[in-house]
Chains A and B, each alone.
Chain A
Amino acid sequence: MFSKSTVIIIGLIVLAAVSVTVISVSGKRGHSSCGFGAAIFFVAPFQDGATRSVRFVRDIWNHYFSLVSAAKTTDDLRKQLSHSVEKVNRCNEIELSNFRLRNLLNFSDNTNERVLAAQVIAKDASPWFMSVIVDKGMAEGVARGMPVVIPKGIAGLVTDISQHYSKVMLIIDRNSGVDALVQRTRARGIVKGKSDGCFFQYVLRKHDIIEGDTIVSSGLDGIFPKGIRVGRVSDVSRSNSDIFQEVIVTPYVDFEKLEEVLVILDLPGHPRTYDTFVGEQ
């Protein structure tokens, strides 16, 4: 009835329509996963292993250059030097890790909510979507919708979980939104991600906002606790034709260097609705 080329063309048109429809529907509804954490359950252990292997090889590579420079001295001095360099590097890593963990501990001690420390083991493959995988999941008490923070500020939100791993959408992702306010003037708005920073949207022109103002979470979205830092205002512009200001916010969190995070286990304004779980403090 139809020629082969006609069938192919119709098939391609249907495929294009299905692609656009699926992406449009899932994007507008904020669905970034489907499968109850099955993909994370199977893939995250490999990501964890690969990250550890790469870090191990990177350390050995750095030590190799030190050994090469030390090869000009005697063999004994070269061995002693290589051992010392390895020890110093390990001590440096431990010191830096200690500093980060102390900050996390101080932060968790000073908050009223229960928190769970987690390590970032993978990041999103695409530079356009901002998410990370952390090594804590349902077994440790993590649930969807839990906020993720570090002492510097809000990092993101848990969007998908498996038994021992979770996916965290960062606040710089375009689908992210944090109900926030200006710490100084209490002007309220929504912090929306834009891949390399954030916009502070829906802030009326009448509100006083200047560069350098601190943006904190308002707690009104029922997700992020009130008063946690989000970012610093880096640019404000008001156009005569718009009722809102254009505010650009630089997050306090350096997402390029994110290694450890804290998952807040108690959602603000809501009593704990889940039963006891493994890892509960």
Chain B
Amino acid sequence: MPSFLLGDVSYDFLVPLILYVGIYRPVREGVVVALVTGFVMDNLSAGPFGVYGAAYIWMFVASKWMTTFLQMRRNRFLLSFAVALGVLLENLIFLGAFAVSGAGFGIPGDAVRVVGGQTLWGMGTGVFLILLINYAHEKWDGWFRARLSKES
């Protein structure tokens, strides 16, 4: 992230994007988005390569699975809950990566504070990001279709 200096309770803003493609978009699109954004974030991060990709793929899989039994597209409370779960899942995967990568030292002492803060922040603000992405995408789709029909 750019130097926003929001502290360590600022969650990953790509989590709402991954959840959006998992809830609103087809599987083909979602997998590509998850893999590409995961690849980019892995290259920008000092974490083991593949940790962001794995986190985003699992988040996408989990969101797709949740849509099979929950009507999430219009339910803002469920969307908030999904973002919170996404942030929690991502942090669990990151902390699990410490165990398998051999970095050692176990779970950091402030893990509960940081993960809890990020989860709460995600629950409160993530739904707005998802709705914003959905609104922007619908506007873009409408403009693009209008353009195509005008040219044809």
Contact = CB atoms under 8 A, between A and B. Distances in A.
Contacts of B149: none
Interface string A235-270: 000000000000000000000100000000000000
Contacts of B105: 174, 192, 194, 199
B43 A175 contact: no
Given A23-B51, A27-B102, A194-B105, A122 B46 contact: no
Interface string A22-47: 11101110011111011110110001
Contact of A196 (B42, B93, B102, B110): B110
Residue picked from B4, B49, B53, B61, most chain A C-beta under 10 Å = B49
Interface residues of A, number: 54
Contact of B43 (A19, A40, A54, A169): A40
Contacts of A170: 46
Interface residues of B, number: 43
Nearest to B105: A194
Contacts of B102: 24, 27-28
A50 B57 contact: no
A interface, over-half SS: mixed
A109 to B, nearest CB: 28
Nearest to A41: B43
Interface of B: 1-5, 8, 12-14, 39-51, 53-54, 57-58, 61, 91, 93-95, 97-98, 100-105, 108-110, 114
Interface of A: 12, 15, 19-20, 22-24, 26-28, 31-35, 37-40, 42-43, 47-48, 50-51, 54-55, 120-131, 133, 159-160, 167, 169-170, 173-175, 192, 194-196, 199, 256
